[in-house]
Amino acid sequence: MDYVHRTGNECAFISRPQCGGLLEAVSRKEFEEYVHDGEMDARQDELEAQWDLEDELFADELILI
Beta-carbon-side half-sphere exposure of residue 10 (alpha carbons within 13 Å): 6
Mean pLDDT in the chain? Answer: 76
Query: What is the pTM for the complete model shown?
Result: 0.51
Which comes out higher in pLDDT, residue 55 or 1?
55
4-35, pLDDT tens digit by residue? 556 566 788 887 777 777 788 888 888 888 88
What pLDDT does residue 60 have?
A: 65
Q: Which parts of 1-65 are beta strand (E)?
A: 11-15, 23-27
CA 57/CA 16 separation, integer angstroms: 25
Q: Using an 8 Å Cβ cutoff, are 15 and 44 in contact?
A: no
Count the Cβ atoms, other than its own, within 10 Å of residue 37: 10
